[in-house]
Amino acid sequence: MSARAGQWTGDLALLACAVGWGATFPVVESALDHASPLMLNGARFLLAAVFLARPALRAAGAEHRAALGWGLALGALLALGYALQTRGLETIDPARSAFLTAFYVLFTPLIDWLVRGPRPSAPVLGGAVLALGGVFVMTGGGRGGLGTGDVLTLACAVAFAAHIVCLGIALRRHRAGVLLVQQIAICAVLSLACAPLVERPRLEFDLLLWLQIAFLGLVATDLLLWLQAFGQRRTSAGHAAVLFSSEPVWAAVFAVLAGSRPGGAEIAGGALVLAGVLVATLPRVARGERRAARDGEPR
């Protein structure tokens, strides 16, 4: 396969990830009619872990023991992020949830700064201002403040950003496959164990619900994570950042197809949030592309 063809297949794989993850928002909202949030997440990630168990067994037991501390931390952050996001979807619509979740792109460099020291760049700070303006517009100019669902979803973006920072550190020390199966399995166990403590557990024997769980576990988790790894080996980080930033747009499209009708304030606010994400991301894209061209890497 030529470098150019490899780039295109990589870009298509990453775009498929953005589309697929965008589709999960209305799916989760619908599934919550028949399941409580943590039980839904537990079932999703347990199914995903079962299908990853066989390839995970190929890694030596010593590898799993060495990575277990990071696996626990990553799984806990993943469980927290998805719990907050799913609870938020009980009170806000999927498009709004997707745009607020996109704040992880802005929170990640801020958390990285606190953990490791690199100061956020001017584009990141400018993007944060735009995105915060978008939230102001989405909430009706601040009248009544942020709702509970908004706050929970913004908190989920912080958890996902912390997960990204920790994963970047852990990947320097342990194999990606080992970390992947550990964090998914731990996320499933934590979600199911905490469900009786923070909610009234509910998981109905409904055919549509179990089809939705199969989609979330096998497609949105296992398949799309594999596509992400496939795509990022064949294209630049810059392409990946731009393509992933389209996730909220796809979520809005699927929400509309599912019958949701976002208002003008939500559309305008969502556009500002997406603009903030792109302002924070595009300068890194340009730097990555120039570096790839200088080093002779495929773009």
Residue 60 lies in domain? 3-295
pLDDT band per the 50, 70, 90 thresholds, residue 38: very high
Among 1-10, 104-113, 248-257, the minimum mean pLDDT is found in 1-10
C-alpha span between 153 and 147 (Å, rounded): 10
C-alpha span between 36 and 190 (Å, rounded): 15
C-alpha span between 246 and 251 (Å, rounded): 9
C-alpha span between 267 and 137 (Å, rounded): 9
Residue among 260, 246, 264, 270 nearest 96 (CA)? 270
C-alpha span between 127 and 133 (Å, rounded): 10
C-alpha span between 245 and 99 (Å, rounded): 10
Domain count, the chain: 1
Give Cα 105 distance to the centre of its chain: 10
Among 56-60, 126-130, 215-219, the minimum mean pLDDT is found in 56-60
| Token pair belonging to 66 | 């060495």
Residue among 250, 55, 139 nearest 64 (CA)? 55
Higher pLDDT, 263 or 36: 36
CB 52 within 8 A of CB 181: yes
Q: Which amino acid is at 191?
A: S
- Does 80 score more than 50 pLDDT? yes
Collapsing DSSP to helix, strand or coil, 255 comes out as helix
Give the pLDDT confidence score for residue 298 in this predicted structure.
Answer: 39
C-alpha span between 55 and 11 (Å, rounded): 26
- Does 2 score more than 60 pLDDT? no
Sign of CA dihedral 219, 222, 226, 231: positive
Q: Which amino acid is at 238?
A: G
pLDDT band per the 50, 70, 90 thresholds, residue 293: low
Give the pLDDT confidence score for residue 297 in this predicted structure.
Answer: 43
- Does 119 score more than 80 pLDDT? no
- Does 143 score more than 60 pLDDT? no
What angle in degrees, to the nearest 10, is found between the helix axes of 237-244 and 3-31? 30
C-alpha span between 236 and 178 (Å, rounded): 24
CB-based burial label for 145 (10 Å; 0-12, 13-18, 19+): exposed
> pTM of the entire structure?
0.80
- In degrees and rounded to multiples of 5, residue 21 shows phi and psi of -70, -35
pLDDT, tens digit, for every residue of 159-197? Answer: 998 988 888 788 788 877 788 888 899 999 999 999 999
Give the pLDDT confidence score for residue 218 in this predicted structure.
Answer: 94
Cβ within 8 Å of residue 103, ≥6 positions away:
131, 154, 157, 158, 161, 273
Mean pLDDT, rounded, for 261-266: 74
